Structure 1
Amino acid sequence: MTTTPVRSLSPVLDTGRTTVAPALRDAVRTHLGPEMSRIAEYHFGWADAAGRPTGSWGGKMVRPTLALLSARAAGGTAEDGLPAALAMELVHNFSLLHDDIMDGDETRRGRATAWTVFGEPNAILAGDAMVTAATSVLLAAPAPGARAATVSLMAATQRMIDGQTADVAFEQRDDVTLAECVRMAGDKTGALLGCSCALGAELVGAEAGLVEHLSAFGEHIGLAFQLVDDLIGIWGDQDRAGKRIGADLRARKKSLPVVAALNSPGTEELRALYLGPEPLTETAVRHVADLVERAGGRDWAEREAAHRLTAAQEALAAARIPEDVRDAFLEVAGFVVGRRL
């Protein structure tokens, strides 16, 4: 077996991965059954398609790390928050398995996606198995808030699904409002990040006010992340972004900067190009990006991202938590958004 070095992300995230990784492997093997475990282990990067260990690790473990911090914020230990961390990572990867199928993505983390290796039905079932495993792990936790935390996780998961549903529906609509788009991004991206920041605290029985502040912090960070991601997708540096710039424009996605621009006055040319039936050439993609910027889409998204970061800071400042935990939350948030808070 060749061991691939695990890239350091940040001190807090590195500690989170070290804490969660062994328990996540155990949870997958315990709750998913042999066939679904094999697909999950491939998806996580632990094994190749034949089930042979790779010695590598694919995930950043952002959401489980936030869940561990959440438990500490409420006076518990990281170990107390471990069931919440496992549940968050399982639900997150359920969404990734299904997203890859929905988007037709053939690679993830530098290798073939699970559905291209094991087939769509098996990959769908593996995602389903992860959701049930997440529920089982959380309900079985010997903690006062196990049931309440499970209800919150399922509510956040439903919001994420609602957001994805809206995102798909937007592809067929020419009249998407900015308010609808912000709500979609809040559900699709913000719901799970908000849940991650609060789930450990709820699991250990924290008071409602603390849970609300932590959840608000995560939701604002989630929206800031989506805004920055949308900006990078149109105007970013391809080498630094790690993805093809302009892909969302080629697919005519209703991303936040685009919808902000489409709802501005005097954008007839943009609407004709972006909402028309003809495929966009590379020249047209660059022109669309310029039109979106001229219509104010870029400025609006940058201002809104800054506003969400400020709102996140304010929500965290209102939470009465230890300073080292507050600093750790901000470190992870800075990694997620790609800038220092």
Structure 2
Amino acid sequence: MTTVDARTGARSVAEVLDWSRSRWEPAMRAAVDRLPVSMRRIAGYHLGWWDETGTPTTASGGKALRPALVLLCAEACGGDPEDAIPAAVAVELAHNFSLLHDDVMDGDRTRRHRPTAWTVFGTGQAVLAGDSLLALAFDVLSPDGPAAARLLSTAVLDLLHGQHEDLAFEQRTNVEVAECVRMARGKTAALLSAACTLGVLVVGGRGEHVERFGRFGRSLGLAFQHVDDLLGIWGDPAVTGKPVYSDLRSRKKSLPVVAALTSGTSAGQELAMLYRQPLPDDRLAKAAALVDEAGGRSWSHTQADELLTDALTALTAANPAPRATAELTALAELITRRDH
């Protein structure tokens, strides 16, 4: 984990994430406890709190970056992060709703080094558990008023449209880079932007201040998707918890893949030929090499770096306190340079 400049009095990323989790997780556990028993059992398994029998475990629940962004942005604009805990919980619930559904739609059998919920409890049950988390998110957020609810609902609708486009791309031969970027803005950047915006909104932020934090989250979210797509091809399965070349196996039109397919290079053309039919395991390494050779890998790395710069520019323009700036900067750098 990165340690930020001690001169700002800022905490390390590990300390920030631990601090954040200590604030929002008790409230989230209390919220999940209100779910019907059938939904609570599946949700708790997915969140890493217990195994399929309900026995408590120490399984990973993920990095929980989104609730940390909610709380840090609330603090950065001069608010009390304690007042943003319901928003942090709501965002994390909405995020996990999307993960439960994503695993079903993508046919992923592992997440965070464990069998996915649908493989344990069944497809329909996992979908219902995801729906229950989304309903719970709006219930938790309701005391913050209609503006907060509208912001989250807009982000969720953007996320759903982005996921729709992502699935539709798998059935299309030609996808343009601009279309893929638009998809990623909805699928990933919308909720990250909402996390940052909600953190400011629920503690009284308004106007340009809210917009600057929203832009910070939006650029960071798109950078996040570039990195996620790179890990979906070249990530280490021992770290990511997903099979090697997982996105190529399902012939996803991810950002680096689309950049390669539209590159006009011979490698891009060869990749297009491979992508016209299911890829056997012995062709996955070749497909990954072609994405790299066609420039898709370097393009996504460059885009992630440029988007990080844009995010930090927006953050600086919001003029947060030095400690908050340092901690949000360190968290942004972790998001864009992570290995899982």
TM-score (norm 1): 0.89
Structure 1 alignment gaps of length 5 or more: 1-7
Q: Would you say the 8 A contact 1:12–1:331 is kept in 2?
A: no
Query: Could you tell me whether the CA contact under 8 Å between 1:17 and 1:60 is conserved in 2?
Result: no
Describe the superposition over 1:93-112 as per-residue Cα deviations: whole angstroms up to 9, x where unpaired.
Answer: 11111111112222222322
Q: Does the 8 Å contact 1:138/1:150 carry over to 2?
A: yes
CA contact under 8 A between 2:259 and 2:296: conserved in structure 1? yes
Within 1, Cα distance between the matches of 2:270 and 2:48? 45
SS in 1 for 2:205: coil
Cα offset, 1:51, TM superposition? 2.2
Superimposed CA distance per residue, residues 177-202 of structure 1 (whole angstroms, 9 cap, x where no aligned partner): 00000111111111111111111211
Identity of counterpart residues, as a percentage? Answer: 50
C-alpha separation in 1, matches of 2:114 and 2:106:
16
Contact 1:70–1:81 (8 Å) recurs in 2: no
Tell me the alpha carbon deviations over residues 25-52 of structure 1, each in whole angstroms, 9 at most, x when there is no partner. 111113x222212221222122222223
The yes-or-no answer on 1:191 pairing with 2:190 is yes
Task: Give the secondary-structure state (helix, strand or coil) at the position aligned to 1:60.
Answer: coil
**SS at the partner of 1:180?**
helix
Question: What is aligned with 1:181?
Answer: 180
Matches within 5 A, 1:10-159: 10-30=14-34, 32-54=35-57, 58-141=61-144, 146-159=145-158
**2:236 paired with 1:233:** no
Matched to 1:234, the amino acid is: I
**Equivalent position SS for 2:19:** helix
Give the match for residue 4 of structure 2: none
Cα distance in 2 for partners of 1:37, 1:287 equals 43
Distance 2:108 2:286 in 1: 26
Measured at CA, do residues 265 and 117 of structure 1 come closer, stay the same or move farther in structure 2, by a change above 3 Å? closer
Relative distance call for 1:237 and 1:52 in structure 2 (3 A) is: closer
Q: Quote the offset at 1:225 in angstroms.
A: 1.7
Counterpart code for 2:129 = A
**What do you get for the CA RMSD once the two structures are aligned?**
2.0
Structure 2, unmatched stretches of 5+, are 1-11
Deviation at 1:335, TM superposition (A): 2.1
Distance 1:307 1:128, change over 3 A: same
Indicate the residue corresponding to 2:246 in structure 1.
Answer: 247
Instruction: Provide the C-alpha distance between the structure 2 equivalents of 1:281 and 1:38, rounded to a whole number of angstroms.
Output: 35
Structure 1 residues 9, 101: CA separation in 2 closer, same or farther (over 3 Å shift)?
farther
Identify which of structures 1 and 2 has the higher relative contact order when contacts are C-alpha pairs closer than 8 Å and 6+ apart: 2
**What letter matches 2:109 in structure 1?**
E
TM superposition shift of 1:240:
4.7
Q: Distance in 2 between matches of 1:54 and 1:232?
A: 27
**TM-score normalised according to structure 2 size:** 0.89
Q: Shift in Å at residue 59 of structure 1?
A: 3.0
- Provide the rounded CA distance (Å) in 2 between the counterparts of 1:13 and 1:137: 21
CA distance in 1, matches of 2:286, 2:62: 36
| Farther off after superposition, 64-73 or 154-163 | 64-73
Distance in structure 2 (CA, Å) of the matches to 1:327 and 1:207 = 23
Aligned-pair CA distance for 1:234: 2.9
Match of 1:271 in 2: 272
- Distance in 1 separating the partners of 2:200 and 2:78: 8
Question: Structure 2 CA distance, aligned partners of 1:86 and 1:41?
Answer: 14
**CA distances 1:100-137 after superposition (whole Å, capped 9, x unpaired):** 11122222223222222222222211111111111111
Given that residues 71 and 200 in structure 1 are in contact (C-alpha distance below 8 angstroms), is that contact kept between their aligned partners in structure 2?
yes
Corresponding residue of 1:3: none
